Amino acid sequence: MHDERRRIEERVERVHDQRVKAAIYAASVPFEVEAWQAPGEPVPFEEAAAAPYAPFAMDTPWGPPWGTTWFRMRGQVPAEWAGRRVEAVIDLGFVGDWPGNQAEALVHLTDGTPLKAVNPLNQYVAIANPAAGGETIDYLVEAASNPDILADDFSKITPMGDVRTAGDKPLYTFKRADLAILDEEVWHLDLDIQVLRELMLELGEHDPRRHEITYALDRALDLLDLDDVSGTAADVRAALKPALSKPANASAHILSGVGHAHIDSAWLWPIRETKRKTSRTFSNVTSLADEYDDFIFACSQAQQYEWVRDNYPKVWARIQESVKKGQWAPVGGMWVEADGNLPGGEAVARQLIHGKRFFIEHFGVETKGVWLPDSFGYNAAYPQLAKLAGNEWFLTQKISWNQTNKFPHHTFWWEGIDGTRIFTHFPPIDTYNARFSGEEMARATHNYQEKGVATRSLAPFGWGDGGGGPTREIMERARRLADLEGSPKVVVEHPDDFFAKAREEYPDAPVWVGELYLELHRATYTSQARTKQGNRRSEHRLREAELWATTAALHASGYTYPHEKLDRLWKTVLLHQFHDILPGSSIAWVHREAEAEYARVAKEVEELTAEAITALGTGGARVFNTSPAERREVVRAADGSLAHTVVPANGSAPLGTGTGEAPSPVTVDGRVLDNGLVRVEVAEDGTLSSVRDLRAGGREVLAGQGNLLRLHTDLPNHWDAWDVDKHYKNRYTDLLDASSVTVSAEDPLLGAIRVERSFGNGSRITQTISLRAGSPRIDFETDIDWHEAEKFLKAGFPVDIRAAHSSAEIAFGHIQRPTHTNTSWESARFEVSGHRWVHLGEPGYGVAVINDSTYGHDVSRTVREDGGTTTTVRLSLVRAPRIPDPEADQGRHRFTYALLPGATIEDAVAEGYALNLPLRVADSAGTPEPVVSVDGEGVTIEAVKIADDSSGDVVVRVYESSGGRAQGTLRTSFPLAGAQITDLLERPLTAADTDGNSVSVTLRPFEIQTLRLAVGKR
């Protein structure tokens, strides 16, 4: 037989694309349209309904960047359309087919009821099926003219990312606003042909099924009258029915499909636009649920539900009804889909606490899994935290984006740093925006790593990133693919059902131990430094406020713990941990607002902290220590004087209080600082030429220039704000030209040298290198006025240590990473994340590099000619990407990092807290004892607060911070009436072992425990 595949395939493509699709709407009549341009920011429906409207014609430009135009559309269904399916069809002038960042609209009835949204792939609003004829239609349509930031695939710099720079030229041209008849037979024929054609093209050329479909399509199209598609569509569908009715192979892969609409809480649009996106997408989803009884929609991010509840109560009511019917599945149990690396441990806990509680309180649903498809890697504390919040499974997808190594599993047990395991899956379909195309179906099967031992995978379907969600066309594809030869089987079901079945058939799935490191988007540890600093500061300020508010609630009469305010402030911080805000990958508008929000949080939290301390009474200058370790530090009083003070962990002491001998004074001799513990020599160029640890016999710590600032050229292959590629290391300039190196402080308690540099495009760096009495920690207080573009600034410390691995703090613990590059897996980790410290050690000696606001770093190792080993840690300080924010990181940055010679892991933990939680001096009577104190090496208090249920119980979160087993005793300064170990939501798990006012604590390595302490009568 002759091979006619090419002819047939081209025939099918043309007839489908040019004739069948064109006949889906059989007839149409235009709406009468009027328009009103809202001034400035979006307005409520009531204001828009009362506004003056002017006539508006099709093919007219509309919509300045980030503007809102309201359209009034009036029309009447022709009487002769009675009995037909009638829809409104609206084309705002859509560009491309991505529903995310472009023109979008929400259609309302005139009483303000939201009906449905329209976007490029969902342009209809159902009127009636069947129509009565003669019905009058009157809509108010809120249309957003969001600019297409994705234009040119992120290859060009654009000012469109901020309303302040975007201009006011209209972006779109309105194309269509009609009442139209949907020809359902043609519409179904369109889908029949699509499914068969795409399946045909994915099957192998020697597969009989491919040829069968090819000739079935050819014969069926012979029945299509191109001049009467509507009249002959049924005949064509009948001819195709046998090809669509052949059942799938018995061993066909099973795709568990669940509707989804990934809505970034901010990204290429500001948060205010996300609030509207949720209303549009959720209106579409609830409308689709009315059409398809078998539809199930999974939706995460409690914050987005709250926005809808507060701003769109009618949509909220529809969501609640869909949840009751089982068609809407709240998932994820987090406040937002947060970044997986950067939030602190307590913040991750609060993400889970606030998210889980919201779904329990508003829907009576306790979510069972963590849903994080799009975050940029996941820290190894997640399994334990997920389990402590009551979760059974974990979902991600992003690891499929790895640049170098293919992750070996799709279904596996993920083991965290403490040994906790959670059943984990990431979909082999390699998208969380599936539409069940032939290419996706084939990829899911071919890609699936568990073939032979398991049979099923998950497929979240629906348009996303900027919302949109599932469409009726995707649901129809799912129905056709439920049992079709040559294709995986599709079953639409709840994610919980998928995970239960997957675990049942594959209980002995392989184990992956440690972090899920994404070999891409490594620059997200550094981009938008002020946003990251705002997060770090906010996390620590909230810890401080909760501790002293708890202290005041227990010890100050008349003081009330500020539950509502702290809850609201935490939620603001959690929102900004979203995986495109905190990583620095959003437009300028988002980060400008984030900085303003962090400033507001700082002000409010400071007020709460001051109120709590004031409530304790006045009595002279007192020093407050919010960190979990005793502090012996030089403290600056309100008048600027210095005093060495010893302050207990989580407690306070009078300024200047000390125990034992006073520390040796700091001497300054030229460019040499010495406090009897370490001696620091600063070179003429401002780098460190020597750091000697006098406690270790004068051991030289450095193996090269310390605090070497290196400016790299930084142009990644793609995704400027997200990526840093390995070739950045090949071109750089060392900043060795110091304009001045001078002594800036010379006091028995503090010595400091100031280094000033100018470089590049008018940038300046001023660093104060300081050493305090009684501490081996060397601080680098840094002030940068940054005006570079496409550059990457690092600070390097080469140390004379043969470190087999580095240890970096993560949430509730630390992770060890090899310093060698034996395999491609280690080589790919050329930029990694950490929190407050990085530790390098060899048996008997270690060094830590500590920071107060940066997250990215790299560690490398080389052998010198003398046979010694140099291990270098370099902190990533600031970047200068230009896409999507052309002014990213420009301007002033102030932060501190530090070198800690002779450091153990325990030292790194303590100094990491100390640098990030400065001692506070205030006029207060204080308290005789901390609310809680703990002994036992490695037992670290992370949070002290009043229970969320306002019972007055005290909640203390502790963890093992050294990586070993720990036993200790937690003591209270209040009468203890009982204690329980709880989950993260403060629900009891087991009784704690108590003795008077003490609780015994036993922890495995990196174990987290939440203790709920009942307060007895005094």
Annotated catalytic sites, by residue?
Answer: 374
Ramachandran class of 810: left when φ > 0, alpha when ψ lies in -120 to 50, beta otherwise: beta
Q: Residues with Cβ < 8 Å from 972, sequence gap 6 or more?
A: 931, 932, 954, 997, 998, 999, 1013
* CA dist., res. 913 & res. 915, Å (int): 6
* CA dist., res. 354 & res. 869, Å (int): 47
Residue for token pair 């799938």? 248
Tell me the pairing of strands 421-425 and 393-395: parallel
* CA dist., res. 446 & res. 440, Å (int): 10
* CA dist., res. 2 & res. 336, Å (int): 58
Sign of CA dihedral 569, 575, 579, 582: negative
**Do 700 and 707 touch, CB atoms closer than 8 A?**
no
- Produce one character per residue of 915-943: b if its CB has 16 or more CB atoms within 10 Å, e if not: bbbbbbbbebbbbebbbbbbebebbbbbb
Instruction: Give how far Cα 214 sits from Cα of 11, 209, 260, Å.
Output: 11, 9, 32
* CA dist., res. 254 & res. 431, Å (int): 16
**Half-sphere exposure of residue 430: CA atoms within 13 angstroms, side-chain side:** 17
**Do 398 and 390 touch, CB atoms closer than 8 A?**
no
Helix, strand, coil in percent for the chain, rounding step 5: 30, 35, 40
DSSP structural state of residue 585:
-
Written as one string, the DSSP assignment of 213-235 is HHHHHHHHHTT--TT-HHHHHHH
Instruction: Give how far Cα 280 sits from Cα of 74, 573, 600, 940, Å.
Output: 21, 25, 30, 46
Measure the CA angle with vertex 584, ends 167 and 729; round to 5°.
Answer: 115
Q: Which of 91, 54, 810, 737 is nearest to 416 (CA)?
A: 810
3-state secondary structure 722-771: CCCCHHHHHCEEECCCEEEEEEEEEECCEEEEEEEEEECCCEEEEEEEEE
Sign of CA dihedral 947, 950, 952, 953: negative
* Residue 357 CB neighbours (<10 A): 18
**Do 224 and 230 touch, CB atoms closer than 8 A?**
no
Structure tokens at 1006: 């990196």
Structure tokens at 7: 């002819």
**Do 234 and 187 touch, CB atoms closer than 8 A?**
no
